[in-house]
Amino acid sequence: DGGITQSPKYLFRKEGQNVTLSCEQNLNHDAMYWYRQDPGQGLRLIYYSQIVNDFQKGDIAEGYSVSREKKESFPLTVTSAQKNPTAFYLCASSTGSRYQPQHFGDGTRLSIL
Amino acid sequence: RKEVEQDPGPFNVPEGATVAFNCTYSNSASQSFFWYRQDCRKEPKLLMSVYSSGNEDGRFTAQLNRASQYISLLIRDSKLSDSATYLCVVTSMDSSYKLIFGSGTRLLVRP
C-alpha cells in the first residue's frame, strides 16, 4: 500500500541532545513537508521541500534541520537549540503541483526527559 | 489577523442533526481550499476539496464564497463517528505550494 511512514511513533530527548525523526513515502510525491502541532493548536510549518536536494524554511525553522537526498525521504533533526521541542510532529507529502492537498503520516510524539 | 480563522467550538449536537462550520481566510488570492478531519491524537486526513461552485460528498457539502472570503462545511445526519476536529485549509500568501491550516473546529456528536 502506498503511504507515508513516520518513525518512531514516540521519542524522548535528553537535554542537549539532537534527535532525528524519519519520514519515508512511496507515493512518488515530489513535495514533502514537516509540521509541528502543540496541544489545542493548529499545524505550523517547519520546513518543506519541493524537489530533491532543495528545501525551504517554514514559519518556525529555528532549532530544526532537514535534508532531502532522496525523493522518498525527508528526515527532520530536532537540535539542542530547540528549547521547547515537546510536540506532535507530522510529515506530509503532495504531488508538488500547485494547489494540491497534502497527505500525512501518522506522526511522531516527541517529549523531553 | 490570522490567515485562517475558525470558531474552535466545541459544537455539541445530537445524532441526526445538521451542523455547519464556517472559516474565514485573509488571502484574497488563495486558489485552493480544503477541509481536513483530525481525530484526537491522530494525523489530519483530507475530507474534501472545496470548489468554486460548491461540492458535495455524501452527507458533506462544502461551499466557497470568494467575495466574503469564507468557506463552509455542512454535515447532514450527523453520526457519532463524525466527532472530530475539522480543519479549514487554504493556500498560503507566500507560495502556492504551501498550505495554511486553521486551528480547527471541534465537533461532538452525542447519542
Distance from CA of B96 to the nearest CA of A (A): 6
A1-10: per-residue pLDDT in tens?
669 999 999 9
pLDDT on residue B48: 96
Kindly state the average pLDDT of the residues B39-55: 93
Of A50, A99, A104, the CB nearest to B31: A99
Closest residue by Cα to residue B85 from B48, B54, B41, B51: B41
Beta-bridge partner residues of A38: none
Give the burial class of A44: count Cβ atoms within 10 A of its Cβ; 0-12 exposed, 13-18 middle, 19 or more buried: middle
* Strand pairing category for B105-110 and B11-14: parallel
Other Cβ atoms less than 10 A from the Cβ of A67: the count is 15
**Least trusted range by pLDDT, from A9-18, A56-65, B80-89, B101-110:** A9-18
The residues that bridge with B110 in the sheet, in sequence order, are: B14
| Nearest one of A113, A53, A47, A107 to A85, comparing CA atoms | A113
Cα–Cα distances in angstroms (integers) from residue A23 to residues A74, A81, A89, B1, B8, in the given order: 5, 21, 10, 33, 30
Are the CB atoms for A86 and A110 separated by under 8 Å? yes
Q: What is the pLDDT of residue A112?
A: 86
- pLDDT tens digit sequence for A50-107: 999 999 999 999 999 999 999 999 999 999 888 899 999 999 999 988 778 999 999 9
Place of cell 479549514: B88
Radius of gyration of chain A (CA): 13
Residue pointed to by grid coordinates 485552493: B32
CB within 8 Å: B103 and A41: yes
pLDDT of residue A1: 61
In this predicted model, which residue has the larger pLDDT, B91 or A36?
A36
- pLDDT tens-digit series, residues B4-44: 999 999 999 999 999 999 999 998 888 889 999 999 999 99
Q: pLDDT tens digit string along A18-42?
A: 999 999 999 999 999 999 999 888 8
Chain B residues lying within 8 Å of A42, measured CB to CB: 4, 87, 101-104
